[in-house]
Amino acid sequence: MEVLYFLTSGTHRTLPLEELEALHEAYSCPLRTLSVHYNLVLAEGNYECSKITMKRSAFIKEMGKVCAICDETSCSWFEECAGRIRKRKLGGFEVPEVSVKLPEGEDKIYAIATEGFYIISKDPAKRLRGKSPRGPFFSPGSMDPLLARAMVNLARVKEGERLLDPFCGTGSIAHEAARVGAVPYCADLDPSMAYGSKINTEYLKLTCEHVLEDSASLPFRSSAFHAIATDPPYGRSVVSLAHGAEELLREFLSEASRVLKPSSWVVFAASTSVEVGDLLRGLPLRLNKCHVMRVHRSLARYVCTAYTGSKG
């Protein structure tokens, strides 16, 4: 096991930590978190395996090897480094004077400062993609592509596995699932959304199954899907469907537990006014975490993860 660092997006404080954990579970990569800091996670893992996760990460921007962890007086060394040290800072943290002398070499060596110490790092591997392009069909409240990708990652879906989005809207989550090699099913009760998401899929040259359906009565056999990731409507859009937010979520989660395989994950957004734990009571789903996500101004919502049976 090597000591590794991961740089996280400042967009959210807790969601990237679960995404990091989820990606390593999806690829069966070992990971033991050592400490969490401002936009920085230190962990033990396998560099080559962790590097693979960067090809689909959303809020993990970079990872690499840690040569040493230093303060103003001393360093704890974990790996040899050779090359010229370049300084980097996270947020407002200034890199102190680096007195470490390294042998000459071609490695890209960085001193990265945060919270009163700095790490000396090498072999950085960056996130493969930023925000994905959108299709021409748009709807107010369409999900940000990076958040959509993060939700796919939180669902722990692997290449070739089936992922369902039963409130597909414009298709953002299904499209990100297609980009990571999953087999997405994009379903919606609204005919205009079902049609519009298909337009976007064709425009983006992606492969996706499109279904017109009711999330409370899904037309799929039991244990048909490896993962679910979705953003149910809330606020005025729930009222327009003649559902209360809690009723809609409860019906969806009941069906989700039926169509998911054992030891599978469901990721869903919900209003912060909803008691998610109460909704899951009596269902074969176990709540893992809920992250508070700021939408705009005073509006916030949860992004929650739950799983069937025991963690896979």
CATH code that applies to domain 2-126: 3.30.2130.30
- The ranges assigned to domains in the chain are 2-126, 145-308
DSSP E strands: which ranges in the chain?
2-8, 31-37, 40-45, 60-70, 75-77, 85-89, 109-114, 117-126, 162-165, 183-188, 209-212, 225-230, 260-271, 285-296, 299-308
- Positions of the chain with pLDDT under 70: 92, 94-96, 235-243, 295-298, 310-312
Nearest-CA neighbor of 295 among 287, 305, 303? 303
With contact defined as beta carbons under 8 Å apart, do 207 and 160 qualify? no
Question: Which pTM was predicted?
Answer: 0.94
Give residue 46's pLDDT: 98
pLDDT tens-digit readout, 113-127: 888 889 999 999 999
pLDDT of residue 165: 98
Same fold, 2-126 and 145-308: no
Which CATH entry fits the domain spanning 145-308: 1.10.260.40, 3.40.50.150, 3.90.1150.10, 3.90.650.10?
A: 3.40.50.150
Secondary structure class of 205 (helix, strand, coil): coil
Which pLDDT value is given to residue 74?
Answer: 86
